[in-house]
Amino acid sequence: MTPVWDVSPHPHAIPKESPGSWREHEIAPFPGGMKPPPFPEVAHLMLDWVKSANTLHDPDAQTPLPELLAHVHNMFERIHLFLDGNRRTGRLLLNLILVRLGYPPAIIFTNERTKYLSAMRKADAGDLGPMGELIARSVTNNLYRFVIPAVAGPARLVPLASLADKKSGLTANALRVAAIRGRLRAQKSAQGTWLSSKKWVREYQKNKYSRG
């Protein structure tokens, strides 16, 4: 936050509230009515948050992991311990937790901002489902778009979603249609998922315009 702060510091910040320092101000309610706690409570609430974050690996937990992640993420955002940069910090912490649990990071893209903020407001009201779903979908999409293609060799069979490339018009649906029509070499897994490889997709791209 320091480069941002150097250009445009928070208008209500006192010297003790520089980047990285906890707030010493009350925060007005956010859209939707969520009111962050009084600043003297931040320290003990953060201790509670750390305890909650450290229990996410509990194998006996009854709540689905995406909802647990949604709860911890929302809990941090509700504390709002900084004057500025809380959402960015919260998403970085969410990804740190995911990586420590053995999952890929959750990437929230700019075009998902409205959906993210709506899910956060619902989580503020106790409904963790939308935020949990958003996190789960983000992790899954990241796995298919970045992780699997990076580790898979050219001949390894992977889900079509991992081979999609919107820049060249190869959406997952377009590849699925090509596989069904027999234009793309692919095979179905035991679970019914279409699988192909980088090599087969390159062959399809090379030949698709030369077919009579």
Q: Would you please indicate which residues are annotated as catalytic (active-site) residues?
A: 80
Asked if 180 contacts 192 with a C-beta cutoff of 8 angstroms, the reply is no
Query: Rounded distance, CA 98 to CA 95, Å?
Result: 5
Count Cα atoms within 13 angstroms, Cβ side, for 89.
17
Query: Rounded distance, CA 50 to CA 78, Å?
Result: 14
**CA distances for 185 relative to 33, 41, 153, 156, 196, angstroms:** 53, 60, 16, 13, 7
Query: Rounded distance, CA 18 to CA 76, Å?
Result: 19
Residue 153 is encoded by which pair of tokens? Answer: 């060799």
Asked if 39 contacts 24 with a C-beta cutoff of 8 angstroms, the reply is yes
Query: Rounded distance, CA 80 to CA 194, Å?
Result: 44
Residue 212 is encoded by which pair of tokens? Answer: 């009579």
Local structure of residue 183 (DSSP, 8 states): S
